[in-house]
Amino acid sequence: MRLAEKTIELTFCAQLAAHWAMSVFWFGLTQKQEARAGFDAAVRTGGRLFIFQFKASAKVIIGGRRFQAPHSQMTNLIERCRSPRSVFYVLPDLGTTLDIANDIDLLDRTWLLDADDLRDVDPPVTPWNTPRKNGAHYFDLAAPLVHIHDPLYEKKVFAASALPRLEESGLTSALLGEIGFDDFWSTRARFTGTVAALVVPQQGAATQGHLAGSDTTQEKTESDSHHKRAAEEDERDRSSSVSLARFKHLIEDAPDEELES
């Protein structure tokens, strides 16, 4: 029996949340909303919004498993791309109940096609170079590639299990080194969860004094003049740091999509 697209969608969402080992809230669309927005489900995690369009196919040809994707749907997905690896086609390399008889692990057999990689794909045509009547592309999955035609394009896909929950969040160790602890502490509130921690290597007494704050400074300085010099040094450090406004675009949440009618 052929697996319905809804079966793929429900199983994928459940297994991805289990893979991430966290509770997430999935947004699903009505048929009317899906027709307008071009996607099936979305989830926000780790400061990112991930959008998925699911495909199901039991048709296997010499070139791989064949899916169909309307060009109008592809255009809608591309319009929702705010950054790479945020909007995906979900292409499972299975299509019938026989395929899951001995293995129900969908995630390791599902591949993601980044919609941001499809900006150069033209509307589909026939071998006679006339517009295809149904307006749909053929996706022939032969992981780690998918061939899109016609005209023919070759795009890379990656395993769904490789999608991390904090992918490209922008909060890197190099960035933390630039912005300092104070800006990190104000920034961490933008990420999912209520607990935050920062582990840094010991870099000498100067670094320890900076992280310890004013208490350490008071222990090391006795006179008012020393306090004044320490304050001036702190001010220079803050001035030389990259401001929150300059790196905000690296960590900003993906814009909310309109999920309501």
10 Å CB burial of residue 190 (0-12, 13-18, 19+) is middle
Q: In this structure, how many other beta carbons lie within 10 angstroms of the beta carbon of residue 166? A: 14
Determine whether 224 is exposed, middle or buried from the number of CB atoms within 10 Å of its CB (0-12, 13-18, 19+). exposed
Residues 104-154 have pLDDT tens digits of: 999 999 999 999 999 999 999 998 889 999 999 999 999 999 999 888 999
pLDDT value for 151: 83
Domain boundaries, the chain: 5-162, 173-251
43 has a pLDDT exceeding 70: yes
pLDDT category at 228 given cuts 50, 70, 90 is low
Which residues does 43 contact at the CB level (< 8 Å), separation at least 6?
13, 16, 24, 25, 26, 27, 49, 50
Tell me, what's the pLDDT at 31? 83
Distance CA 147, CA 153 (A): 6
pLDDT at position 156 is 96
- Structurally, at CATH architecture level, domain 5-162 sits in 3-Layer(aba) Sandwich (3.40)
Most confident of 110-114, 211-215, 224-228: 110-114
Q: Is pLDDT of 11 > 50?
A: yes
